[in-house]
Amino acid sequence: MLPSAASEASPQGIVRIYRLLDPRPDGFLNDVLAGLSLPQKAVPPKYFYDERGSQLFEEICGLDEYYPTRTELAIMRECIDDLAKLLGPDTELVEFGSGASVKTRILIERIRPSLYMPVDIAEVALREAAGGLARLFPWLNVSGLVADFAQPLALPEFVGVPVRRRVVYFPGSTIGNFTPGEALAFLRRVHGILGAGGVLVIGVDTKKSKKVLDAAYDDARGVTAEFNLNLLRRINRELGGDFQLARFRHKAFYDETAGRIEMHLESTHAQFVRIAGRRFDFAPGETIHTEISCKYAIEEFRALGHAARFHTQAVYTDPDRLFAVFAMMAV
């Protein structure tokens, strides 16, 4: 896969956006048709993030019940001096699943990387975030990459920029969207991208009481429900589906045994839906599985990193241990 480059001027400085050509332009349609044909119907969570979905996710991040965003931010503020010492100067900072993150601003301001490369599947959100950072930090070299970071990825090379160390920043506990087995495979690929001596800075949501977790994924104002249901709206709009949103309801719960949140869309009636000429039947109570969000005890995640040949250099956490930020070096 070769990236295609498109440069564009922002008020100050240049933001380059590279688009990794999608080898399957019908990826969304194929994934939806295949997913709805499974015994347990499922759609991958990466499809939440159309424009409205990205907005709704930002809204989730500000909810009282959704503790991860504010907790991770507080941890970053606390640990940033220590982290900067650990990372050193002249870094190339690669960020996966960037969004419009305040956490990233703190990191960039303090470590002043030679290059910043946000990687995100949501092109509009990526452009906005990258443009905002280029305006905020006129000295910063920004090259955004529109790509699915869950797939194997070759980063463009930059010549003539001093780089001593590659750093991958993966905040937000997005790694929770992978099963532990997929997370291990992902960490091994990140290891390959970093090379020995590179450092992964990763936000991880910890195991905690079911009460707190259930509320975080089923908030009182129904923003998470709206975020989940927006997936059906997107299928209707982009794939010509005819889901009736009023006939599905948001369902989210923490499975303590598996250590993960599951999100589903539950059919309230017997019904069928048509997408691209295909018919999908739903029994009352049947669900579409839309997301998992795996939680890790600190020692569990350290072991997962170790299995991918990472040495944990530091674990930063809050007093209640609601969230953890790991700095792990590829060895």
- Please give the residue ranges that form the binding site for ligand AVJ (CB under 6 A): 60, 68, 172-174, 176-177, 217, 224, 291, 293
Closest CB to ligand AVJ among residues 252, 328: 252
Q: For residues 292 and 330, which CB has a smaller minimum distance to ligand AVJ in the complex?
A: 292
CB of 72 to ligand AVJ, least distance (A): 10
118 or 176: whose CB is closer to ligand AVJ?
A: 176
Distance in Å from the first CA to the final CA of the chain: 27
> CB 206 → ligand AVJ: shortest distance, Å?
12
Q: Pick the closer one to ligand AVJ by CB: 41 or 295.
A: 295
Q: Which strands form 248-255's sheet, in the order they lie side by side?
A: 248-255, 260-267, 287-294
Minimum Å gap between C-beta 313 and ligand AVJ is: 23
Quote the CA–CA distance of 319 and 324 in Å, as a whole number: 10
Least Cβ distance, residue 73 to ligand AVJ (angstroms): 14
Cβ nearer to ligand AVJ, comparing 223 with 275 = 223
3-state per-residue secondary structure call for the chain: CCEEEEEEECCCCEEEEEEECCCCCCHHHHHHHHHHCCCCCECCHHHHCCHHHHHHHHHHHCCCCCHHHHHHHHHHHHHHHHHHHHHCCCEEEEEECCCCCHHHHHHHHHHCCCEEEEEECCHHHHHHHHHHHHHHCCCCCEEEEECCCCCCCCCCCCCCCCCCEEEEEECCCHHHHCCHHHHHHHHHHHHHHHCCCCEEEEEEECCCCHHHHHHHCCCCCCHHHHHHHHHHHHHHHHHCCCCCHHHEEEEEEEECCCCEEEEEEEECCCEEEEECCEEEEECCCCEEEEEEEECCCHHHHHHHHHHCCEEEEEEEECCCCCEEEEEEEEC
Closest distance to ligand AVJ from the beta carbon of 205 (Å): 7
CB 192 to ligand AVJ: min, Å: 23
Give strand pairing partners of 15.
8, 142
Which residue number, 18 or 217, has a Cβ lying nearer to ligand AVJ? 217
Nearer to ligand AVJ, 28 or 217 (CB): 217
Find the shortest distance in angstroms from Cβ 314 to ligand AVJ: 21
Shortest reach from residue 207's CB to ligand AVJ, in Å: 14
Measured from the CB atom, is 3 or 172 closer to ligand AVJ? 172
Smallest distance from ligand AVJ to CB 21, Å: 25
Between CA 272 and CA 198 the distance in angstroms is 50
Instruction: Specify the residue, 71 or 143, whose C-beta has the smaller distance to ligand AVJ.
Output: 71
Q: Among residues 233, 216, 226, which one has the least CA distance to residue 249?
A: 226
Residue whose CB is nearest to ligand AVJ in the complex, by number: 293
